[in-house]
Amino acid sequence: MRVAGAVVVIAVLGGGEGGDLARRFAAAGAKGLLVADLRPGVAEDLAAELDRPGCPVVGVSGDAHQPSDIAALVATAAKHLGPIDLFAVAGPHGERVVSLDELPDHLDPLAELLALVGEAIGEVVPPQRQSVSPSAARTAVR
């Protein structure tokens, strides 16, 4: 996986830590980073710390469990940094990096990205710790 010259999105899940991952990507020569964290202000503070010429860093609040938030992250990264090359998920039990060149050309890139992010979340968060959406909880109760 090539990091030098790559635009990287890092989605930090509840209980995860994105700071070390962002620092590693920056040190490896990433062209730009977008960090999204559930906790307000955390990603923005990290972006202010790491932002530098040659590797701009954007920090936003976002929830990788929500497709609308993933779509917003993709749009924000494209607007400020360019096309995304790598998408990383940092959870309480590990990290997973997805290379977007894995996406088939004939599929809707956002739909395929959502599937890969969902898979990545499943790998870094044990099933019993995964968030249950309110609609899924209502369905399970019926």
pLDDT in tens, the chain (142 residues): 789 999 999 999 988 889 999 999 999 999 999 999 999 999 999 999 999 999 999 999 998 888 888 889 889 999 999 988 998 999 888 898 988 776 656 556 667 777 777 777 776 776 555 554 444 443 333 3
Length of the chain counted residue by residue: 142
CATH number of 7-141: 3.40.50
CA 4/CA 62 separation, integer angstroms? 25
CA 12/CA 61 separation, integer angstroms? 10
Neighbours of 41 (CB within 10 A): 10
Rg of the chain on CA atoms, in Å:
15
64 exposed, middle or buried (CB, 10 Å; 0-12, 13-18, 19+)? Answer: buried
How, if at all, do strands 32-37 and 7-12 pair?
A: parallel
Neighbours of 134 (CB within 10 A): 8
- The reported pLDDT for the residue numbered 117 is 79
pTM: 0.79
